Chain A
């Protein structure tokens, strides 16, 4: 079922990665605010499974199995033929469906609209969340100073 659309691969990788990490319900809400959902046919109905996450000994050495995480995936085709894949973290079947719809629609004429109304807000949410944590971490950064000694 290898996909053969000529969408730019790195572009698609970027939006799928962004959608996979979105909080539950967020992609659905943005998609529904942007448009009425198109009709589609399931190629693979949403299913929840696991992915074994790997780390490396010493951070950079040989890989080892760290433990699994839950992932939900699905695949669908729009009536126009565009094929969408959804992979999201967690067990949200509705989230996987919304992810696959956005993936498919991004390969159609709706791409610019969705980029502005779904992907851009998701990206902004993520940047904001990351910046807020980084700012809190920065506030706990130690500023060392040397005590003035008495011999001067």
Chain B
């Protein structure tokens, strides 16, 4: 017999107090400030902004502190905060061609206008733990060299000159917004890109890796990867013109994929696209690979049944807040549900034994 009960308020309050104490840790150790997290854990901050889908480094740093470093919990806090904000409008599409690049590399062309700029990268490090960082550190300074102002055009523009790569034709269709309308299938590319840019990095990384290992056949080159600052411009109705309302750091990845042609398209290179808030290179490359795999239908390719080709599978499972919400709810009280299961099993056993 199931009896409804109330209770647990005191236990919950005390659990939260203990959580606060554990969050602080040993009080003999100096407390972390939000500014320290923002400045010194900036790639974690970037991930929380990208998957929280809100560009605000101070808020992301606060969320990381509150979440004790659990980034999915921090993303959850940012998503919840975001819903409380009135929306002032939408920006004009950012011009990534005009990015002030900290990093810009191409795996397809060695010599290219603007050059190969490595930026502050982990690439070519030896991945050996640096015990000097465990000691009281000094402040390293990066070398500088006179920068020659020059245009840094997108790599895909060179291939376009020969007509060897599909074009990204300018278009001003207003895109769907999954924060306003439920995500429904079939999802056009704009909706897919919105879902992918805020998707869980680990999930997208795994799917992208699966395409490289043969689950959806496309061999991707990183045509270009660039990281840097772009201005965000918005029309201000009360002024009647547009102003820049801020500057954000983005990571953009364009892949170039071999394509032997189809019934509708000639043999040419095709493209996958990744664009993510912050310095988030692994995510942007993964996004570009998954974007390309999801484009099989519009390019007239075969469905080989690969997970990364299945838009419904990818998009409905890529959001870590939806996923964790559903997953973690099963640890909450299900006493009534379980009671009925228990009754059923007892009944079946009685019948089988009878």
A positions within 8 Å CB-CB of B: 1-3, 9, 12-13, 16-17, 20-21, 47-71, 73, 75, 85, 87-91, 130-142, 144
Contact = CB atoms under 8 A, between A and B. Distances in A.
Nearest to B248: A69
Contacts of B176: 65
B305 interface: no
Interface of B: 49-50, 53-56, 58-59, 82, 85-94, 96-97, 100-103, 110-111, 115-121, 142-148, 154, 156, 168-179, 189-191, 193-194, 197-198, 229, 231-234, 236-248, 250, 252, 254, 271, 273, 275, 277
A71 B89 CA distance: 10
B147 A63 contact: no
A50 B241 contact: no
Contacts, number: 239
A47 B87 CA distance: 11
Identify the interface centre among B85, B110, B118, B178: most chain A CB within 10 Å of its CB.
B85
Given A3-B239, A59-B273, A85-B238, A20 B56 contact: no
A145 B170 CA distance: 38
B55 A68 contact: yes
A50 B246 CA distance: 12
A139 B168 contact: no
Nearest to A70: B56
B194 A66 contact: yes
A62 B189 contact: yes
A2 B171 contact: no
A69 B56 contact: yes
Given A69-B248, A85-B238, A48 B177 contact: no
